[in-house]
Structure 1
């Protein structure tokens, strides 16, 4: 299949029959004219067949078998976090471009290894941090540059979700489980997005389960060389919430539903001054489709990712995991007990 403009779609194989692939990413890929999903691989043939039947592609048993297919030129990796580095590296070594679920790896050294491998092979490596592709974050950057809230002094970002099913893989340490690598990387990446790299962790607390010590929520304090401070909250033992607020010396700017706003609805930015509140409405946008389209453009050489833009994406991924490593090292760990505190 070739488009009217003569550029064939990027032929993608999927390593893993994950929920995020089923619910979000593969629907976006099949709706994108620049992408063709050719195969889905799973260790369970029945799961692979279920995906193949829905998305009109081949079912493959086993991950290596997918990498051996000649019709796969790019790979999407929605496996558990602890498997990201291994299978992203295998795909790059096999000469395939890679879109890997966030985080790219579980440590900064692993991320450096992957980005260096992609650079050596001349291949596109991208994290599926889909929220970064929503246009309202660019609108926020423009408001900051225009001085709409004055000089930036502080950022607060949070992403919390309700308790997961007890058998959810995010409760399994060996698979890269824990709130820090699941929900925590979103506010960390938000801080990198707006405050830049080189942030310092000045304090951190993790609530951990008795027994295995798995982190289920946490708070982090950051400082930039500019003097701007950040406070971050995350976890999966809360009511749902995802937002960030940028405080300036004139006003504060808040973006609600910051991680996954409904694609069909307008989004808003709220600017609050001492005696005035302004609501900015932005057009609807599908960040999953935007992420997929940007990846395809990068593979075809139409995006900035084949030049200096690629280095920036890699550097931001590494910077985020450097913060993860620093949180692990510095965090005070507080055991959590079922039921929470008693209320007088």
Structure 2
């Protein structure tokens, strides 16, 4: 049996505190060695909770000889810099989504990882949840006929003004939140998705977009209407409308590991609410990452996934028309 992958965390983000480090600590094939922050007190607080070593400074962490891989939950616009540093230090990298703020940077990092024969994986965890595999099986079985349309929505209420999402280094709503509905479109419409148009409501004072929407079409003309934002009542759902029914995924993107998902199947003469087994999407991400690190396989597949999403995200970003309503102060 292979030894656990010795991992460290580059940054003390909220997602690391709330979800990923707990999954690392519980995963039998991962050993959490250290956590780094530029703030010593923050590193110590994280390390005390997750039983690992605190490190002050990111370069200091990357210089260690007792780790094989790093998890990068830094703000989006810092990803490219520190992912590159980690790869050049000979470390495998699991990075929070999206991997970088634009397609060109993403492509450069994927190529670098391939050249160095290292695993580089984007932690877009919802795609690893089994509920979406079930939905794809239902669609493949013809449960709702042929897909005629897709809607996907992800939004949550405003956070405190100090939240990194409201700072340019956080990337804004499209980069931070819109990536979920955009990835959903790829999941069900496949390759060849085109961007018809996109909008964003931007706060000029903060320098970021707060919400947005996009209309995409698949290669056969199937439309996808996507919305996202961080100034909404909470919603995390998508719906597939077929030629003979609908499937609604009611908690699509952020279900906790203890949650038993419910999907709604509607046909002409019946409705069914199907309860599925709980699943740990963060644990599943780690399992996939460990397998790639240990076997050397799946690296090309991971790169293809990352680049497909980055390409579509860039085309949505390029199509955005800014809407009035943001603050000018």
Could you tell me the TM-score, scaled by structure 2's length?
0.96
1:138 aligns with one of 116, 121, 133: 133
Q: Which moved more, 1:207-216 or 1:50-59?
A: 207-216
2:265 aligns with one of 261, 271, 278: 271
Q: Partner of 2:209 in structure 1?
A: 215
Contact conserved, 1:24 with 1:288, CA < 8 A, in 2?
A: yes
Contact conserved, 2:191 with 2:219, CA < 8 A, in 1?
A: no
1:36 aligns with one of 28, 31, 36: 31
Distance 1:152 1:244 in 2: 13
Distance 2:207 2:120 in 1: 32
Q: Partner of 1:228 in structure 2?
A: 222
Distance 1:321 1:298 in 2: 21
Contact conserved, 1:210 with 1:336, CA < 8 A, in 2?
A: no
Contact conserved, 1:108 with 1:319, CA < 8 A, in 2?
A: no
Q: Partner of 1:149 in structure 2?
A: 144
Contact conserved, 2:201 with 2:326, CA < 8 A, in 1?
A: no
Answer yes or no: is 1:184 the counterpart of 2:173. no
1:71 aligns with one of 66, 70, 81: 66
Q: Partner of 2:299 in structure 1?
A: 310
Shift in Å at residue 278 of structure 1? 1.5
Shift in Å at residue 327 of structure 1? 2.2
Distance 2:101 2:203 in 1: 20
Distance 2:187 2:299 in 1: 15
Shift in Å at residue 212 of structure 1? 5.1
Aligned runs of 1:22-61 on 2, under 5 Å?
22-61=17-56
Show CA shifts across 1:233-254 (max 9, x none): 0000001010011111011111
2:320 aligns with one of 317, 331, 342: 331
2:7 aligns with one of 12, 22, 26: 12
Contact conserved, 2:167 with 2:206, CA < 8 A, in 1?
A: no
Show CA shifts across 1:68-91 (max 9, x none): 100110000000000111111111
CA RMSD across the alignment: 1.3
Shift in Å at residue 213 of structure 1? 4.7
Report the secondary structure of 1:167's partner residue: coil
Show CA shifts across 1:115-137 (max 9, x none): 11111111111111111111111
Aligned runs of 1:91-240 on 2, under 5 Å?
91-173=86-168, 175-211=169-205, 213-240=207-234
Q: Partner of 1:248 in structure 2?
A: 242
Distance 1:66 1:321 in 2: 28
Aligned runs of 1:255-266 on 2, under 5 Å?
255-266=249-260
Distance 1:212 1:48 in 2: 28
